[in-house]
């Protein structure tokens, strides 16, 4: 079984400042890792994903994330945020090995990013 921990429930940040959202996971098997964003009253949109290969992953809207296997982390960063980045961000993992679990996404609790001028 996997678990996902998002270490910050809320992150206030000023416009044009950098932001980092922390995500740690635990799993005994290989996993896919994802970051999703949810704007108010909307569904979830995929920001980026890590499957294999380069540990630095670039996504949409200027976001990037770094996979660190030794620390079992997948932190999300953006060098300069905009007001429009105010949203809930979810880290998620999916088991690649256990066929009964294929397709399941295990989400972290979410991090609310609030960008102010």
**Exposed, middle or buried, 22 (CB in 10 Å: 0-12/13-18/19+)?**
middle
**Hey, which residues between 68 and 107 contact other proteins (CB under 8 A)?**
90, 94, 96, 99-100, 102-105, 107
Alpha helix positions (H), 1-117? none
Options 20-28, 44-52, 60-68, 71-79: segment touching other proteins (CB under 8 A)? 44-52
Task: Classify residue 34 as exposed, middle or buried by CB count within 10 Å of its CB (0-12, 13-18, 19+).
Answer: buried
Residue 11 vs 44, nearer CB to other proteins: 44
Closest distance to other proteins from the beta carbon of 31 (Å): 11
Site residues (vs other proteins, CB under 8 A): 32, 34, 36, 41-46, 49, 51, 90, 94, 96, 99-100, 102-105, 107-110
């Amino acid at each position: 079984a996997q678990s996902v921990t998002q270490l910050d429930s809320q992150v206030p940040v000023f416009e044009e400042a950098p932001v980092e959202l922390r995500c740690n996971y635990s799993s005994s098997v290989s996993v896919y890792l994802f970051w999703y964003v949810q704007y108010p009253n909307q569904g979830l949109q995929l920001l980026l994903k890590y499957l294999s290969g380069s540990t630095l992953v670039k996504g949409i809207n200027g976001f990037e994330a770094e996979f660190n296997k030794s620390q079992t982390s997948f932190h999300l960063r953006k060098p300069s945020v905009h007001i429009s980045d105010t949203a809930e961000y979810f880290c998620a993992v999916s088991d690649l090995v256990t066929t009964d679990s294929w397709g399941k996404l295990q989400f972290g609790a979410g991090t609310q990013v609030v960008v102010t001028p």
